[in-house]
Chains A and B, each alone.
Chain A
Amino acid sequence: MPEPTEFQHRSAPSVPSALRRRAVLALGAMPALAAAQFRVEVTGVGLTQLPIAIAAFRGEEAAPQRVSRIVLADLERSGQFRGIDSGSAVLDESSRIELATWRERKADALVSGSVTRLADGRFDVRFRLWDVVAGRDLGGQSYAVGAGELRLVAHRIADHLYEKLTGERGIFSTRISYVTKSANRFNLWVADSDGESAQSALASPEPIISPAWSANGAQLAYVSFESRKPVVYVHEIATGRRRMIANFRGSNSAPAWSPDGRTLALTLTRDGNSQIYLMDAAGGEPRRITQTSSIDTEPVYSADGRMLYFVSDRGGGPQVYRMPASGGNAERVTFNGSYNISPALSPDGRWLAYVARAGNAYRLQVMELANGNVTGVTDTTADESPSFAPNSRLLVYATQQQGAEALMTTTLDGRIKARLAGQSGDIREPDWGPFQR
């Protein structure tokens, strides 16, 4: 995608702190229907959300994508923004703004823009961001893209707005991977962070599980049952070329990339029981790094690459442990309950997400590693496979709602959840990809 052009950007502080201080507390638990595609669920009070109005972009109703709606959905899914109805206002990036109108509507920020079809069939997309509180123009960008890239442009705009208004990096133009099952067909998909624009990386008559993005976002490791046993592949997404990396005697599963991309940790049963091994990402002889007679599985690297967290039932039931990344003494990490699995670590090193069984319910938990405090973040009962967004602010996970499998995102406190749109049929095994660039 071509680089955006900044235009008429008067210098402004990169973090408009006045705007953030005035962010309004959200009241009540009213679900916001931002678009037909998805529903943001707000539970709990006392959230700090920035009220933002995103006016319909002039010309977008004639374009293949309603760019402003995608931007709004992205920002609302982050949990840090609340959409303000912009009514029937038709603005564009050069419109004069009646600040009084927007202050009356209690918007702290306003976005206006346009989508214009160019002579060569591409689209010129522009926007401008306004600080309604301070009455200041915070500049904007323009992009020239083909119809097929309009959704990605919307995500890039959402990233820009998010960064300008929160000071943190946005994740809306990152990608996620997940698996669907339909009749007797399994697909491994690569999609936008909202689950849309999915492209199939692999179609198979047999199950696919445990996709894992490499740190540079170019490859997916996964487990395929196409030869009627679990085998680990490494798959280059852009070319479709894949390598069978582990097909040892017994079962091969749970691939995890080291942050430097050079090593894969995985679970093999070649010595009888499920144990964790390290392999060079290019392939070769695995090195066993756990030495127990129990189940050791689901390895995952810490963001600095120094530790491996994993699941072990050496103490009876499965719990999360950690050990040095090259093997060594393991230290137990989870202590609540008798069944804790599927660890995921936030890139900023602060959080551990995992799934805990209590009774018949399997529920997503988030632990703050600095102090061990654990919060349950869902009230569904069949949660699986949590994965952090690369800015450490959101989790994607699989669950069941009304008997059907669904992918959800949640803020780490569980207060803002959204169901991802996209594929029908059973949907599971999400993994959130890295920042590109």
Chain B
Amino acid sequence: MTIGRTPYSPQPNRGTRGALAAWAVVAALGLAACGSKVKLNEAEVEDRTATAVGAASTATPVTPSPTANSGAVAPVDLSKPSGQDTAGPAGAARVIFFDYDSFTLRADAAALIDAHARFLKASGSRKIVIEGHTDERGGREYNLALGQKRAEAVRKALALLGVSDAQMEAVSLGKEKLADAGHDESAHSRNRRAEIVYR
């Protein structure tokens, strides 16, 4: 299933590029020699997920359009951290917020969880780390445990929708990675969160 339309951003290796070029040449020759009785193979363009060697993958599954090779190229930079928007389901937020002293998902998180569940089940191999956070108040170790409850709530919700355990790890960052350094309630509410990070 194609999720949205994204520009085709191939990362072919040299061999594939050479093959495409060869096919382009052959196709051109074929069109020029239209009187020949030789049947040319059509160049096949496949549905393909580009994967990086070694570093975290940031590609998305796409169906390339027939005019892909002549259009713009969207760069994928593997040197950036894997939390980029090119990871995971396009358009789906990656942060789920929690009420004070609460470790259960709000109703407004349901659509988000659903989008990630579908994406993960479709890929079967993509992995996420769910990072749980707290606001800045309280002890560091106890807040680590509270953050874990938030990450675990998201993990359980995804598991209930059929995502396999092997694709998920719930961890806590406690109060060590505050999103908002303020000390008022609006800062606290921005810090009480779980983040889905695609690896």
Within the assembled complex, what's the spacing in Å between the Cα atoms of A251 and B174? 10
A273 touches B152 (CB 8 A): yes
Within the assembled complex, what's the spacing in Å between the Cα atoms of A210 and B143? 13
B139 touches A355 (CB 8 A): yes
B129 touches A230 (CB 8 A): no
Contact of B176 among A207, A318, A339, A360 (CB under 8 A): A207
Can you list, as one digit per residue, whether each of B133-174 has a CB less than 8 Å from chain A (1) or not (0)?
A: 000011111101110110010000000000000000111111
Within the assembled complex, what's the spacing in Å between the Cα atoms of A250 and B145? 11
Distance (whole angstroms) from the CB of A271 to the closest CB of chain B: 11
A209 in contact with B149 given A230-B171, A251-B171 (CB within 8 Å) = no
Contact of B139 among A267, A272, A362 (CB under 8 A): A362
Within the assembled complex, what's the spacing in Å between the Cα atoms of A207 and B172? 12
B145 touches A267 (CB 8 A): yes
B146 touches A295 (CB 8 A): yes
Looking at A207, A269, A342, A357, which has the most chain B CB atoms within 10 Å of its CB? A269
Distance (whole angstroms) from the CB of B54 to the closest CB of chain A: 16
Can you list, as one digit per residue, whether each of A197-218 has a CB less than 8 Å from chain B (1) or not (0)?
A: 0000000000101100000000
B140 touches A210 (CB 8 A): yes
A228 touches B129 (CB 8 A): yes
| B17 at interface by CB-CB < 8 Å | no
Within the assembled complex, what's the spacing in Å between the Cα atoms of A249 and B176? 19
Distance (whole angstroms) from the CB of B169 to the closest CB of chain A: 6
A253 in contact with B144 given A295-B149, A355-B139, A362-B138 (CB within 8 Å) = yes
Can you list, as one digit per residue, whether each of A217-254 has a CB less than 8 Å from chain B (1) or not (0)?
A: 00000000100111000000000000000000111011
A229 in contact with B176 given A210-B140, A250-B170 (CB within 8 Å) = no
Residues of B within 8 A of A41 (CB): none
Residues of B within 8 A of A298 (CB): 139, 141-142
A225 in contact with B145 given A209-B140, A251-B171, A272-B152 (CB within 8 Å) = no
Within the assembled complex, what's the spacing in Å between the Cα atoms of A272 and B176? 21
Can you list, as one digit per residue, whether each of B177-196 has a CB less than 8 Å from chain A (1) or not (0)?
A: 10000000000000000000
B171 touches A250 (CB 8 A): yes
A342 in contact with B141 given A225-B173, A251-B172 (CB within 8 Å) = yes
Within the assembled complex, what's the spacing in Å between the Cα atoms of A253 and B175? 14
A269 touches B172 (CB 8 A): yes
Within the assembled complex, what's the spacing in Å between the Cα atoms of A6 and B176? 50
Residues of B within 8 A of A273 (CB): 148-149, 152
Residue of B nearest to A295 (CB): B145
Within the assembled complex, what's the spacing in Å between the Cα atoms of A362 and B140? 12
Residue of B nearest to A298 (CB): B141
Can you list, as one digit per residue, whether each of B107-144 has a CB less than 8 Å from chain A (1) or not (0)?
A: 00000000000000000000001010000011111101
Contact of A230 among B152, B172, B197 (CB under 8 A): B172
Q: How many A-B residue pairs have CB under 8 A?
A: 92
A267 in contact with B141 given A274-B148, A295-B149 (CB within 8 Å) = yes
Contact of B141 among A209, A249, A250 (CB under 8 A): A209
| A297 at interface by CB-CB < 8 Å | yes
A209 touches B176 (CB 8 A): yes
B144 touches A311 (CB 8 A): no
Within the assembled complex, what's the spacing in Å between the Cα atoms of A209 and B144? 11
Residues of B within 8 A of A74 (CB): none
Distance (whole angstroms) from the CB of B34 to the closest CB of chain A: 59
A297 in contact with B142 given A250-B148, A251-B148, A273-B148 (CB within 8 Å) = yes
Within the assembled complex, what's the spacing in Å between the Cα atoms of A183 and B117? 37
B138 touches A297 (CB 8 A): no
Residue of B nearest to A403 (CB): B183
Within the assembled complex, what's the spacing in Å between the Cα atoms of A229 and B170? 9
Within the assembled complex, what's the spacing in Å between the Cα atoms of A249 and B129? 11
Can you list, as one digit per residue, whether each of A331-369 has a CB less than 8 Å from chain B (1) or not (0)?
A: 000000001011000000000000101001010000000
| A384 at interface by CB-CB < 8 Å | yes
A207 touches B169 (CB 8 A): no
Residues of A within 8 A of B144 (CB): 209, 230, 251, 253-254, 267, 274, 297
Residues of B within 8 A of A210 (CB): 140-141
Residue of B nearest to A210 (CB): B141
Residue of A nearest to B132 (CB): A251
A342 in contact with B152 given A207-B176, A230-B171, A267-B145 (CB within 8 Å) = no
Residue of B nearest to A253 (CB): B144
Residue of A nearest to B165 (CB): A249
Residues of A within 8 A of B129 (CB): 228-229
| A429 at interface by CB-CB < 8 Å | yes
25 contacts between A and B (CB under 8 A): A207-B177, A209-B144, A209-B174, A210-B140, A225-B173, A225-B177, A228-B171, A230-B172, A230-B173, A253-B141, A269-B148, A272-B152, A273-B148, A273-B149, A274-B144, A295-B146, A311-B141, A311-B142, A339-B138, A342-B142, A355-B139, A360-B137, A384-B140, A385-B140, A429-B140
19 additional contacts (CB under 8 A) given A269-B145, A274-B144? A207-B176, A209-B174, A225-B177, A229-B172, A250-B170, A250-B171, A251-B144, A251-B148, A254-B144, A269-B172, A274-B145, A295-B146, A297-B142, A341-B139, A341-B141, A360-B137, A362-B137, A385-B139, A429-B140
* CB-based closest 8 A-B pairs: A229-B171, A274-B145, A207-B176, A295-B145, A341-B139, A251-B172, A341-B142, A254-B141
